[in-house]
């Protein structure tokens, strides 16, 4: 049929969850009164009626809007009346049709129906291939589902109609109702068959998954039955031999009594053992109790290692394992000395704070070795769940003790050293706050009776030595930080890195790569180049990776060139082993310039020099700040501008500059975020220089916070900043007066090489940094610092 044909009026039967396709035979049950009456009307005439699927299967009395647009005209072949009002009907689909007009709603649906023909398509090679693919897929489907549809399959193989194949696949497969309706509403036979093939592939995948799940379930059930049968046989054999589980229970009871536990703990464990004896074999409760008792018995309740409290021996171990870190070593040795004098005192809880790679974790291992304590490490980075620390209650499936108790079991001693690594990187969410769970662990007044949620009995942690590590103490909650003594590990100087590389890293890497000392030699010059041009860090992790790379290259060269017996790496041939230099030294101004000042900054990987550039232009008094600056740094620039306006006459700056001049302050490397108050004096000096036209000394660097009254306030990170100044060829460093006390912590090499000028006011900074003649009557604002080296560029009358 190529055109729509008006068939005439006929009864309409609404189908729920069922689709009947043309040329397909289907049987179904009819129970609704309207459907029964429509069926009886059809049987009185030509036995044809329109079968229309309804959209909502829950609707008992559908209207026209509740029916799909397309249905199937079918001929009733057989009716069987069963018990009750249900009728079983066998119909054969004829063709697709739609309702043109609904002429009757009661007592059953009746309307004018028109046929909907298929679109005519040409039979070509593509459609033949599609039919073959459909037949193959349907054959596979029948094999996997044991579907009894061989007659249908024979008709499908003999048919050359794409539409018939699609309808047959849809009618005789387990496709969803909505997918079948898509096929019923598709008038193009080829597209209909393409869709049917696609849906049949999905159905095949579903059948494969169902078969796989069925096989696994069947195997599990068979295995359980087999295990049960074997257990019953073993039980019968044991009964015949006189062997029972009482031997195992007796061993557990003996183990509990031998631990010499406190009365409360012992009674609790014996009670759980008694409950275990009463459990039937194979019950889940018995498995939980058995695992619980095994975990408790594995804990080192009364096992201790003999602590070696010897300051001299501990000093040797620490000096052998680590170079430098004198302050940290002294504090640890003081702790050991106090333990030697008063062993009954609680062990102090130490938190080592410092940038990555400076040896926090490794020094904890050295402390354990020096004290002859066993060691266990708890990595707390990323821990969000309180149960990770305290454990889960044993009633939960898969419950286990917390990390503290697990670490005690791993250590095998009741007085180990527990390293709480990355304690600053714990988080908290709806599952609790793990840092709050650590409060009891790290409190010497409470940890003598620590209760893990899984153990449910007190455990003594008072003999445990806790050492925590952190990169940033600001992220540690205040109550937890209050329980720990902070020891800061600063960045290594270049000289310290050189000695660490020579004494520790190079021998370690030579051993790792199977090289002898005579086969590879690295000069001090090459090591210094590695430190300054290939790494930019506070610690030595990247330096160790660079040395490992040099060892790998050398090993390859020794194997490829059989004539080469020894390799020497120097500064001149370093690029051949490590490639081009990654970090080139910052070039400082070769001459004194106007509006260009060198500042000092602290970063997480050490100190850096920071140039501040200022341009003054004709304008309306705008202040432009660029260079990816933070709010604090911007406020420092505004404070500097306020000071200059308030003291314009004294500084030699035009009084109306804030009306007639635009000032642009820029910090290079705009991709790097910058913040903090310590660049205040740097910005102020650059502004004054640009406004007055006086040049700034290129060999002077400075750091300090500025107030709007011209005071220079103290800053942090002085050690790292001064090392950066020395590394970049600075000779004079201006620091706040209140930071003089921090000079004692600076390496002697740095102190001897730099001239430190301490100041209290901005006037003193300008007198030192700007190339202008100092008024002979100016007050002496700078105090002398003992031990400082006189600067070659010091101006007449300037005092330190």
Q: Catalytic site residues?
A: 678, 721
Report the distance separating Cα 717 and Cα 603, nearest Å. Answer: 9
**Residue 203 neighbours by CB under 8 Å, 6+ apart:** 141, 173, 174, 175
> What does the buried/exposed string (b/e) look like for 510-538 if buried means 16 or more CB atoms within 10 Å of the residue's CB?
beebebeeebbebeeebbbbbbbbbbebb
Tokens 């007639």 label which residue? 660
Query: What φ, ψ does residue 584 adopt, rounded to 5°?
Result: -95, 145
- Tell me if 373 sits within 8 A of 307, measured CB to CB: yes
The three-class DSSP label of residue 330 is helix
Both tokens assigned to 351: 């938190």
- The full DSSP string for 698-732 is TTEEE--EE-TTSBEEP-S-HHHHHHHHHHTT--E
Cβ atoms of 714 and 646 within 8 Å: the answer is no
> Which residues lie closer than 8 Å to 250 by C-beta, 6 or more apart?
none
Q: At a CB cut-off of 8 Å and minimum separation 6, what does 190 contact? A: 121, 126, 127, 130, 162
Q: Tell me how crowded residue 786 is: count the other CB atoms within 10 A of its CB.
A: 7
Rounded CA-CA distance 147/286 in Å is 46
- Least Cα distance to 22 among 108, 97, 84 occurs for 97
What contacts 690, CB < 8 A, 6 or more positions away? 594, 595, 614, 615, 616, 663
SS3 614: strand
H-type alpha helices, 630-703: 631-646, 648-651, 657-660, 680-692
User: Cis link prior to 107 (omega < 30° from 0)?
Assistant: yes
User: How far is residue 763's CA from residue 152's CA, in Å, rounded to a whole number?
Assistant: 103
Other beta carbons less than 10 A from residue 315's beta carbon: 16
Would you say 303 and 258 are in contact if contact means Cβ atoms under 8 Å apart? no
* Element counts in the chain: helices (H) and strands (E): 28, 24
Q: How many CB atoms lie within 10 A of CB 18?
A: 14
* SS3 call for 543: helix
- DSSP β-ladder status, 71-81 and 87-104: antiparallel
């Amino acid at each position: 049929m190529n055109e729509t044909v008006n068939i005439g009026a006929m009864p309409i039967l609404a189908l729920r969850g069922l689709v009947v396709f043309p040329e397909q035979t289907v049987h179904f049950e009819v129970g609704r009164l309207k459907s029964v009456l429509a069926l009886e009307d059809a049987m009185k005439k030509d036995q044809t009626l329109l079968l229309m699927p309804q959209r909502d299967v829950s609707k008992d009395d559908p209207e026209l809007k509740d029916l799909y647009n397309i249905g199937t005209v079918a001929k009733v072949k057989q009716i069987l009346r069963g018990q009750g009002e249900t009728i079983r009907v066998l119909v054969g689909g004829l063709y697709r049709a739609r309702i043109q007009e609904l002429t009757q709603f009661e007592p059953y649906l009746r309307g004018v129906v028109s046929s909907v023909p298929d679109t005519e398509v040409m039979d070509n090679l593509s459609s033949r291939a599609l039919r073959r693919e459909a037949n193959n897929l349907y054959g596979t489907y029948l094999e996997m589902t044991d579907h009894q549809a061989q007659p249908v399959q024979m008709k499908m193989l003999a048919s050359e109609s794409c539409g018939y194949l699609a309808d047959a696949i849809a009618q005789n497969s387990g496709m969803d109702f909505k997918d079948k309706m898509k096929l019923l509403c598709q008038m193009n036979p080829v597209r209909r068959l393409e869709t049917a093939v696609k849906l049949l592939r999905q159905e095949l995948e579903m059948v494969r998954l169902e078969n796989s799940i069925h096989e696994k379930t069947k195997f599990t059930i068979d295995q359980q039955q087999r295990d049960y049968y074997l257990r019953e046989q073993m039980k019968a054999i044991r009964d015949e031999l006189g062997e029972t589980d009482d031997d195992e229970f007796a061993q557990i009871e003996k183990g509990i009594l031998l631990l010499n536990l406190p009365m409360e703990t012992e009674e609790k464990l014996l009670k759980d053992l008694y409950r275990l004896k009463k459990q039937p074999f194979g019950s889940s409760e018995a498995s939980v109790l058995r695992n619980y008792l095994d975990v408790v018995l594995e804990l080192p309740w009364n096992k201790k290692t003999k602590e070696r409290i010897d300051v001299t021996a501990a000093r040797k171990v620490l000096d052998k394992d680590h170079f430098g870190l004198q302050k940290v070593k002294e504090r640890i040795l003081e702790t050991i000395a106090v333990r030697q004098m008063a062993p009954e005192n609680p062990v102090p809880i130490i938190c080592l704070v410092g940038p990555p790679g400076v040896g926090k974790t490794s020094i904890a291992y050295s402390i354990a070795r020096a004290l002859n304590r066993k060691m266990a490490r708890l990595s707390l980075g990323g821990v969000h769940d309180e149960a990770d620390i305290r454990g889960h209650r044993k009633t939960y499936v898969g419950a286990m003790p917390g990390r503290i108790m697990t670490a005690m079991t791993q250590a095998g001693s009741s007085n180990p050293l527990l390293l709480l690594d990355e304690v600053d990187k714990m988080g908290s969410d709806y599952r609790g706050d793990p840092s709050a769970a650590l409060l009891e662990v790290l409190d010497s007044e409470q940890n003598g009776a620590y209760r893990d949620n899984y153990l449910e009995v007190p455990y003594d942690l008072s003999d445990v030595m806790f050492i925590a590590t952190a990169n940033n103490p600001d992220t540690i909650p205040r109550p937890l930080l209050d329980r720990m003594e902070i020891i800061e590990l600063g960045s290594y100087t270049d000289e310290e890195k050189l000695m660490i590389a020579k004494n520790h890293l190079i021998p370690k890497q030579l051993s790792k790569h199977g090289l002898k000392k005579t086969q590879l030699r690295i000069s001090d010059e090459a090591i210094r180049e590695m430190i300054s041009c290939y790494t930019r860090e506070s610690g030595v992790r990247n330096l160790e990776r660079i040395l490992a790379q040099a060892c790998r290259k050398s090993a390859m060269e020794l194997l490829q060139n059989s004539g080469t017996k020894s390799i020497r790496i120097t500064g001149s041939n370093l690029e051949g082993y490590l490639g081009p230099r990654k970090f080139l030294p910052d070039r400082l101004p070769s001459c004194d310039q106007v509006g260009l000042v060198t500042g000092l900054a602290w970063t997480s990987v050490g100190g850096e020099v920071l140039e501040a550039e200022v341009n003054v232009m004709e304008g309306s008094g705008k202040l432009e700040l660029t260079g990816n600056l933070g709010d604090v740094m911007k406020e420092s620039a505004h404070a500097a501008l306020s000071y200059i306006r308030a003291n314009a006459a004294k500084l030699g700056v035009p009084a109306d500059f804030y009306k007639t001049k635009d000032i642009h302050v820029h910090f290079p490397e705009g991709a790097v975020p910058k913040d903090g108050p310590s660049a205040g004096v740097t910005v102020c000096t650059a502004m004054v220089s640009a406004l007055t036209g006086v040049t700034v000394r290129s060999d002077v660097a400075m750091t300090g916070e500025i107030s709007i009254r011209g005071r220079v306030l103290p800053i942090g990170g002085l050690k790292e900043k001064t090392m950066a100044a020395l590394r970049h060829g600075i000779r004079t460093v201006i620091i706040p007066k209140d930071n003089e006390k921090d000079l004692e912590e600076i390496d002697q090499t740095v102190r001897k090489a730099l001239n430190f000028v301490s100041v209290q006011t901005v006037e003193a900074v300008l007198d030192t940094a700007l190339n202008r003649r100092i008024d002979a009557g100016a007050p002496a604002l700078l105090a002398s610092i003992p031990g400082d080296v006189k600067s070659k560029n010091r101006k007449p009358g300037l005092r330190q």
